Amino acid sequence: MPLPDHKLIICGIPELPQHALAGVSHVLSIIDTHEPRPPALDDFAGIDHELIRFDDVVAEYPGYEACTPRHIERLLDFGERAHAKAGSHLLVHCHAGISRSQAAAAILMCQHAPGREEESFLRLLALRRHGWPNTRMVEFADKLLRRDGALLRGLQAYRVALIAAKPNLREVIRNIGRGHELPE
């Protein structure tokens, strides 16, 4: 199982207070460039916290800061710290717990589990009832981890399973401008 002996929570900013007493040891925050630091993070004292800022876009757009390889390097450095602590309890959040946090959680699960990328991505279905991981993040992680497309194939397997379970999401994904990411 990816991340053996590690617990993982995925959420959005509004849900942070629900997890303040959950025994979290590591928090990864991925929020928009101009988003203020969520005050609810003050309730997670004495934990390893990494705050990474970029906007939830999957390409370069004027007025937005897209994810770069450096952002994913920081995510992987955070993952190294979390993996090094036996029994760590990770909380990964973005604004809504749908795109960046889903991608980050899957990347962290894949980080030390080569050959188990599909299993890691499919685990997202049990961790969070809804999501659409940020493709750009996964593309950079696949390159940095030298997985030759395995993370992207895992992402595709996740999306096929999610759409099979929730066919109505096809229209939602098209409406938010990410229809090109839908599985055939």
Q: pLDDT class for 179, splitting at 50, 70, 90? A: confident
Does the domain spanning 7-179 belong to CATH 3.90.190.10? yes
Q: Output the pLDDT for position 180.
A: 85
Q: Is 60 exposed, middle or buried (0-12, 13-18, 19+ CB in 10 A)?
A: exposed
Give the Cα separation of 109 and 3 in Å (integer).
6
Q: Is 1 exposed, middle or buried (0-12, 13-18, 19+ CB in 10 A)?
A: exposed
Q: Output the pLDDT for position 182.
A: 87
Give the Cα separation of 142 and 31 in Å (integer).
21
Could you tell me if 121 and 142 are in contact, meaning their C-beta atoms sit under 8 angstroms apart? no
Dihedral (C-alpha) 92, 94, 95, 100: value to the nearest 10 degrees? -130
Q: pLDDT class for 5, splitting at 50, 70, 90? A: low
The whole-number average pLDDT for the span 67-86 is: 96
Q: Does residue 2 surpass a pLDDT of 60?
A: no
Q: Does residue 1 surpass a pLDDT of 90?
A: no
Q: Does residue 126 surpass a pLDDT of 80?
A: yes
The whole-number average pLDDT for the span 120-130 is: 91
Q: Output the pLDDT for position 45.
A: 85
Quick: pLDDT tens for 131-162.
999 999 999 999 999 999 999 999 999 999 99
Q: Does residue 120 surpass a pLDDT of 70?
A: yes
Work out the angle between the directed axes of helices 135-144 and 150-165 (0-180°, nearest 10).
150
Give the Cα separation of 156 and 182 in Å (integer).
9
CA distances from 71 to 58, 101, 128, 140, 141 (A): 14, 13, 23, 9, 10
Q: pLDDT class for 100, splitting at 50, 70, 90? A: very high
Q: What average pLDDT does the chain have?
A: 93
Give the Cα separation of 71 and 137 in Å (integer).
9
Give the Cα separation of 51 and 29 in Å (integer).
5
Q: For 144, how many CA atoms within 13 A lie in the half-sphere containing its CB?
A: 21
